[in-house]
Amino acid sequence: MPRYEGTIAGLNPNGRAKVIIGPGRMGVPNVSPGVNRRVCHCATEGSTVTIEAVNGVGAEVGDLVSVNRDASALAKNAAVLLGIPAAAVMTGLVLAGVLMDVFSFQVAYGAVVAAGCFLIGIVVGVLCFKRVSSETPPVIDHILKKRLDSALEQGHNRFPMQRDGQGCDGCCGPFS
């Protein structure tokens, strides 16, 4: 079961919370510390993800929480997003082959039929994904730290940020 740690950014009236999930560690993954010293390792807005999770534990804004997602839901999502378009392209190829063989269609028409089936498969896959993924949302399973404890830890610049007008030289990250 995939587990993530994040901070509550807001509470929704429907019993869900917005959770900001940041990177597990700063720097480029799976490279030597020497390489990390030469690249900018500042946390950027693109390195975080905001999700909506079911707040069954009563977490409040600023709390550090553990969020999990059922692994079977991830498998279903992958099957829908990959399986339906793959089945559609296979159907399109078979249909194009039949049209070219039986009705003497040109190869260009067959390619258009196969591409059309593939595009239809993508649309159907995305629509099915929206329905399947909404059935199993991520869930906040427990609070790791209350907001006061998290604020004290954040005060020690645990997450380096690039400041306005400064490069990575102004960064106080672990690799500088």
Q: 112-170 pLDDT, tens per residue?
A: 999 999 999 999 999 998 888 777 788 999 899 887 765 556 555 444 444 444 445 54
25: closest CA among 44, 43, 49? Answer: 43
The whole-angstrom separation of Cα 53 and Cα 75 is: 19
Tens digit of each residue's pLDDT (9 = 90 or more) over 83-121: 999 999 999 999 988 888 887 778 888 889 999 999 999
pLDDT of residue 168: 52
Tens digit of each residue's pLDDT (9 = 90 or more) over 23-62: 655 666 666 777 766 666 555 545 678 889 999 899 999 8
Q: With a threshold of 0.85, does the pTM exceed it? A: no
Q: What angle, 0 to 180 degrees and rounded to 10, lies between the N-to-C axes of helices 84-102 and 107-135?
A: 160
